[in-house]
Amino acid sequence: MASPVSVYNSNALDAHIASTPRESLKMELLADVSLLPGEERIIDKDIIYMCHFNGAVKGKVLITNYRLYFKSSDADVTVMLDVPLGAISRVEKMGGASSRGENSYGLDITCKDMRNLKFALKQEGHSRRDIFDLLFRHAFPLSHGLPLFAYVTQEKYAENGWNIYKPVEEFRRQGLPNNKWRITFINKSYDLCDTYPTVLAVPFKSKEEDLRRVAAFRSKGRIPVLSWIHRENQAVIVRCSQPLVGMSGKRNRDDERYLDLIREANDTTKLTIYDARPSVNAVANKATGGGYEGDEYQNAELIFLDIQNIHVMRESLKKLKDIVYPNVEESHWLSSLESTHWLEHVKLVLSGAIQVADKVSSGNSVVVHCSDGWDRTAQLTSLAMLMLDSHYRTLRGFQGLIEKEWISFGHKFASRIGHGDKNHADQDRSPIFVQFIDCVWQMTKQFPTAFEFNEHLLLTILDHLYSCRFGTFLYNCESARDQHEVRSKTVSLWSLVNSKMDIYLNPFYTPESGRVLYPVASMRHLELWVTYYIRWNPRIRQQQSPVEQRYKELLALRDEYLKKLEQLQLSDSSTSSRLANSPTPNTSSNTSPSQQYTHLHTPF
Amino acid sequence: MEFSEHIKTANVEDVVLRQPLHPPSRGTLCITGHHLLFSDREEGSSRQVLLLLRNIDAIEKSVENLLGYSGFFSNAGLSERMSGSSGTITIKCKDLRVLQLDIPGMEQCLNIAHSIETLSCLDCVSEMYPFFYRPADLSLQDQWGLSTPEKHYSQMKELCERWRLSSVNRDYSVCPSYPSAVIVPNSIDDSTLKKVAKFRQGGRFPVLCYYHKKNGMVIMRSSQPLMGANRKRCKEDELLLQAVIDGSDKGYIIDTRSSQQAQQARMTGGGFESKSCYSHWKRLHRQMDRGKALQESLIKLVEACGDESNNMDRWLSKLENSKWLSHVQTALSTAGLLAECVERDGHSVLVHGSEGTDSSLLISTLAQLIMDPCCRTLDGFLALLEREWLQAGHPFQQRCARSAYSHARLQQESPVFLLLLDCVWQLWRQFPLALGFSEALLIRLATEVYASDYGTFLCNSDQERCAMGIKDKTHCLFQALLRPGERDFYSNPLYEPTELAIWPSVHPQSLQLWRGFFLRWTQQARHLEEAQEEIRNMLIEWGKLALS
């Protein structure tokens, strides 16, 4: 060969990774898989993994009730796959018994986490029938009357992650109840709203019967309730679903009065209602009985935030996948990326949240809703709270935020993700939560010292969003979780995380309780989250491990520093002022929200 | 001094300055021979803005006659002339800052604009500010520069067996753009070198620029051979190259032009090393845009970055259309190829394009960063720049006379050095631990190369710098950057040396816009700078306590 084999040489093939045939794998090769307690082998088989990057790789596949594991048998090519079955959205047969061509007969697996897997099998003797059937059954247990793995696993952790979020404690942390807001248990048996949690915070002056009348006028009974209150100016973030205005333009005096009570609670002249939808969609919703708050709501202003619906987001991410997997678009990468509109959607969500946060921090209460108030609304309220309240930027605080705004308020995880369900084309599926985590990642990039957790936590959350190993993201709402005894029968993801916290910590975290973070939601400052969306491509992957190792050492150094500082403090109390400014690890869940808010100039 | 004849109005009161990241302020504007000075008169704050006129790339002026001029401070006491005419000067700097001055009085405004226009592009080197800059803490007797070719040679013991230091160019007569001493194969004597120089454009005969200790292979660089239409040969040139790969089966030539461009170069007297005459050399062509194409790319990029009209409006397409990132990609991947030839394939390489003063330096510098851990420290990197750019004769004065905003007709301008800094930043981003210097250093260099208090980037070659007495009459930027306080600021607090090569990923997905430079005058860049600073202080603090 004339020129050196090169990754910088566009003509060169990856010849150096091509595998040579070897004797078939012995079972011992699979011995290094450490199975989870309760995980059981279903089948293993010699197979060829049709790797998009390394070509055909011979090896052995092991399927358990939790995962699909593959290991190459060639000594010179180490290819390993470890895919939770929950991440699989579709399994199809590829080629037929009579298909010609090498490796054209096998399985084609589509995953929810931005990758596809292809396996080839020997054509003789229906060799794929058993593996296909078993994989299909266990990848989609709910479609086959089987339990999700979260109900099978026997994992034990030192900490019980289900205790991370207790609504009453969280309200108390925020300073509630007070003389303007009360806590109600009206929904304790889910009869006011079956997709809401049992504990709600509502205006002090509203009576239980008011709430019931308001519920009748809000889609799915999702009445306006408090999510967050600003300690100093008492401005609140209230969330709900759309009002049932309909074609005839119905009014509901109770709803109008109720919103006015929210405004009154901190004595401002105007309540701002953020409707997350584009205005045309809000108008169109009237046809199906929904709508938006009109002029009859005095003392209120309505602002549309132009965020598209779940279908648009799903298609956008699908387009993104098309340009990054298996092959990354090379020649017109930026304009292709632009045409997926993914970053534009991220931008709109972020800038919507910035508007909410800015309004609240300047002392005005806001109401946020979309149609049902469980997708875009959750994105906006949780991101705004992340900007406003530094507690949510701690490792535990962030877990609480997800538990509160997403899980307890009924983001339909089961429908959006399709846990254990074979219906891969279900129109209810949508990457709304992924998009939220993407927005959080954008914020961590823009404020590298403001978050106690690191990127690894975000990746872990997204991996277990699909894995079905933990109960955290199962089901659509609290009532369904109660019914299926999630808390008693499954393990929480936060048990895993909080039992091994140090790998999720950002060594550079500096708590600043008073700081409101306003990320810049301009396209110029947003980046594609390459380490998530393109992480399966070995050629794009950048050196992570030395950096992680270094960060680990830095965390140890920081702890050492804090220890020494503490000793110094004991011997010399005059240095105590310095401790206040120094980073403290794992700030406990009881830190109060900010005392001083700086009013920054909001750029959007 | 003659500067005064260009300054009709030296001082103006009641000027309003608008600049990024600050609220507008009112104060006094003052023009000197080299600076624009603005002093804030607001109570409680005394801010000064001192701007090198050399930093100004373009100005736009608009004057109007206004009855009842209403400035930003409409309730402030207005002086008489403000009710008459006024003007606005928009100043666009080479460091990409955009300032605006509202100046009362049309005539004064025009005078100021005229002064700026004239003084910002004076061509005479000896009148430039570095010749007048005399800070108290620096002495002209201090060492100038970091190293010399002689020192560099003597530090590499491994070299002397097969390589020698030649002073054939001691009076710059063999090659005006080379330093006085260069490293060449032992077996090639000075008279041969002189003949080779005649066969290479601008006399830039092949010289050693990097010796790879792991396997003894080298990177050579030169300009194109002057083969011409009738396929001239030069025995001495062939001999020299043969001596380079003595004992090895072959070498590679990376030509930074497409093979078509190389063919066409013959028509104007240039050419390439043909297979028949250089049978042990394998040519690889990689087309790298240079000159005007690069400058236009920068202009488009800066225009897109500054376009505030509607930030939804096809930003990514604009970024792509500027082609800047694809220049970054080409440079990094060609450098990667070069490093692969040396490190993985184990062969020596000669790099050239046509003149050998731009793309060749770009990729040889990047390849050294990829392969050689010594180049990745703060000192090592600055020494590398000194060797590969200053001593090797990159014509800084021609390339960096103007930047992205200038309306002047382009001549020799081309942001090759800025492209280098961007590529180094990409490496820095992909290998956050491997480089010993900080992003702040790269931003500082990107600023200094266009306008500076120091003499380092003046002139086009060693010869010119000698003739101008740069080393005796100006201060050295590199020395200044290595002073204790500055050194901390320009070091990477996360640095952890590695002996391994750092192979950059060159997929478009792995390359990012260098926001720290191109969007540096935005709030967000400021936030990130502050966060970096915070992290640096944290690490220093922890380190101190851990040691105590």
Please, which pLDDT band fits residue A9 given cuts at 50, 70 and 90? low
Instruction: Give yes or no: residues B175 and B110 share one domain.
Output: no
Any domain includes B282: yes
Any domain includes B138: no
Q: Under an 8 A CB cutoff, do A8 and B496 touch?
A: no
Mean pLDDT of chain B: 90
Any domain includes B178: yes
* Pick from B208, B219, B162: nearest CA to B183: B208
Please, which pLDDT band fits residue A461 given cuts at 50, 70 and 90? very high
Q: For position B18, which CATH number holds?
A: 2.30.29.30
A370 is catalytic: yes
Which residues share a beta bridge with A83?
A68
Q: Give CA–CA dist A476/A411, Å, rounded.
A: 6
B541 touches chain A (CB under 8 A): yes
User: Residue range B412-434: average pLDDT?
Assistant: 95
Residue A517 with chain B: CB contacts under 8 Å: none
Copy the structure tokens of residue B310: 């509607």
Residues 6 or more apart whose CB falls under 8 angstroms from that of B95 comprise: B55, B446, B447, B450, B451, B520
Rounded to two decimals, the ipTM of the complex is: 0.90
Residue A334 with chain B: CB contacts under 8 Å: 316-317, 319-320, 325, 508
pLDDT at A580 over 70: no
Q: Under an 8 A CB cutoff, do B508 and A523 touch?
A: no
Taking each helix axis from N to C end, the angle separating B291-306 and B315-322, rounded to the nearest 10 degrees, works out to: 160
User: Residue range A70-93: average pLDDT?
Assistant: 91
Best B284, B287, B312, B315 residue to mutate vs chain A (most A CBs within 10 Å): B315
- From residue B324, alpha-carbon distances to A52, A472, B495 in Å are 30, 45, 28
Best B507, B529, B534, B537 residue to mutate vs chain A (most A CBs within 10 Å): B507
Please, which pLDDT band fits residue B43 given cuts at 50, 70 and 90? low
- Which has more pLDDT, A380 or A524? A380
Distance (Å) from the alpha carbon of B456 to chain A's nearest alpha carbon: 34
Any domain includes B76: no
Copy the structure tokens of residue A542: 């950048």
* Pick from A370, A245, A336, A290: nearest CA to A528: A336
Instruction: Give yes or no: residues B530 and B478 share one domain.
Output: no
pLDDT at B100 over 70: yes
Copy the structure tokens of residue B547: 């040691």
> Which of B513, B524, B538 is opposite residue A520, by nearest beta carbon?
B524
| A65, A40 Cβ separation under 8 angstroms | yes
Instruction: Give yes or no: residues B163 and B28 share one domain.
Output: no
Report the chain B residue with the minimal C-alpha distance to residue A533: B509
Q: Kindly report, residue by residue over B75-95, the tens digit of the pLDDT.
A: 444 444 445 688 999 999 999
Q: Under an 8 A CB cutoff, do A334 and B325 touch?
A: yes
pLDDT for res B541: 86
Q: Give CA–CA dist A125/A468, Å, rounded.
A: 34
Q: Give CA–CA dist B390/B540, Å, rounded.
A: 33
Counting Cα atoms < 13 Å in the Cβ hemisphere of A148 gives 25
> Which of B506, B512, B531 is opposite residue A449, by nearest beta carbon?
B531
Q: Give CA–CA dist B89/A327, Å, rounded.
A: 50
pLDDT for res A381: 98
pLDDT at B69 over 60: no
Instruction: Give yes or no: residues B366 and B255 share one domain.
Output: yes
Please, which pLDDT band fits residue A582 given cuts at 50, 70 and 90? very low
- Which has more pLDDT, A86 or A590? A86
> Which of B282, B315, B538 is opposite residue A3, by nearest beta carbon?
B282
Q: How many residues does chain B have?
A: 548
Q: Give CA–CA dist B90/B110, Å, rounded.
A: 12
pLDDT at A5 over 80: no
Instruction: Give yes or no: residues B462 and B500 share one domain.
Output: yes
Please, which pLDDT band fits residue A8 given cuts at 50, 70 and 90? confident
Instruction: Give yes or no: residues B332 and B265 share one domain.
Output: yes
Q: Under an 8 A CB cutoff, do A508 and B507 touch?
A: no
Which residues share a beta bridge with A68?
A63, A83
- A133: phi then psi, degrees, rounded to nearest 5: -60, -45
User: Residue range B270-284: average pLDDT?
Assistant: 94
Last residue of a domain, one of B122, B140, B171: B122
Copy the structure tokens of residue A334: 């930026």
Copy the structure tokens of residue A157: 């952790």
Report the chain A residue with the minimal C-alpha distance to residue B427: A542
Q: Kindly report, residue by residue over A474-487, the tens digit of the pLDDT.
A: 999 999 999 999 99
What is the residue range of B25's domain? Answer: 4-64+83-122
pLDDT at A345 over 80: yes
B186 touches chain A (CB under 8 A): no
Q: Which of A111, A240, A370, A468 is catalytic?
A: A370
Copy the structure tokens of residue A348: 């709109």
Q: What is the DSSP letter of A3?
A: S
> Which of B305, B315, B527 is opposite residue A447, by nearest beta carbon?
B527
Please, which pLDDT band fits residue B45 given cuts at 50, 70 and 90? low
Q: Which amino acid is at B35?
A: H
Instruction: Give yes or no: residues B246 and B320 share one domain.
Output: yes
Residue B540 region by backbone torsions, left for phi larger than 0, else alpha for psi between -120 and 50, else beta: alpha
Could you give the 3-state DSSP secondary structure of residue B537? helix
Any domain includes B318: yes
Q: Give CA–CA dist A595/A591, Å, rounded.
A: 11
Q: Under an 8 A CB cutoff, do B315 and A540 touch?
A: no
Instruction: Give yes or no: residues B311 and B430 share one domain.
Output: yes
Instruction: Give yes or no: residues B281 and B351 share one domain.
Output: yes
B 252-281 residues inside an 8 A Cβ radius of A? 252
pLDDT at A467 over 80: yes
Any domain includes B296: yes
Helix residue ranges, H only, B124-248 = 149-155, 190-198, 235-244
Any domain includes B310: yes
Mean pLDDT of chain A: 88
Q: Under an 8 A CB cutoff, do B316 and A560 touch?
A: no
Alpha-carbon Rg of chain B, whole angstroms?
25
pLDDT for res A485: 97
Most confident of A484-493, B73-82, B289-298: A484-493
Write down the pTM of the prediction: 0.91
- Which has more pLDDT, A513 or B12? B12
Instruction: Give yes or no: residues B179 and B323 share one domain.
Output: yes
Q: Under an 8 A CB cutoff, do B542 and A534 touch?
A: no
Q: Under an 8 A CB cutoff, do A523 and B282 touch?
A: no
Instruction: Give yes or no: residues B370 and B477 share one domain.
Output: yes
Beta strands in A220-327 (DSSP E): 225-229, 236-240, 271-275, 300-304
User: Residue range A273-297: average pLDDT?
Assistant: 96
Could you give the 3-state DSSP secondary structure of residue B470? helix
pLDDT for res B399: 94
Q: Give CA–CA dist A462/A87, Å, rounded.
A: 10
> Which of B312, B325, B534 is opposite residue A523, by nearest beta carbon?
B312
B 340-359 residues inside an 8 A Cβ radius of A? 340-341, 344-345, 347
Q: Under an 8 A CB cutoff, do B430 and A510 touch?
A: no
Any domain includes B75: no
| A248, A343 Cβ separation under 8 angstroms | no
pLDDT at A12 over 60: no
User: Residue range B47-59: average pLDDT?
Assistant: 92
Instruction: Give yes or no: residues B220 and B259 share one domain.
Output: yes
B315 touches chain A (CB under 8 A): yes
Q: Kindly report, residue by residue over A258-267, the tens digit of the pLDDT.
A: 999 999 998 8
Q: Give CA–CA dist B263/B266, Å, rounded.
A: 6
- Which has more pLDDT, A90 or B73? A90
Total tally of structural domains belonging to chain B: 3
User: Residue range A44-67: average pLDDT?
Assistant: 92
